[in-house]
Amino acid sequence: MKAAEKNDFEFESTYYKEFDSYLIESINSVEGSGDMFWQYYLNGEMGMIGANSQFVQDNDIIEWKYEEFEY
């Protein structure tokens, strides 16, 4: 939320209580669809926990990529 406010972009998310986590549904009106989803990376590594639970430090690089999810 802080990044969206600071960098002037919009996003939508859905909270899943059973996972205590949010799924990012869209960023700047680009919505997940089919096998395409928003995934975050921390310092080049795919996030393995919900972004809202990920601890970050100064100088960490956080990227959001719109990519195909492989089952």
- Give the pLDDT of residue 69: 81
Domain span including residue 43: 2-68
- Give the pLDDT of residue 3: 81
Looking at the structure of the chain, the number of domains it has is 1
Cβ atoms within 10 Å of 24's Cβ, excluding its own = 20
* Residue carrying structure tokens 């680009």: 30
Residue 5 φ/ψ, nearest 5 degrees:
-65, -45
Per-residue model confidence as pLDDT tens digits over 8-62 = 999 999 999 999 999 899 999 999 888 999 999 999 999 999 888 999 999 999 9
0.85 exceeded by the pTM?
no
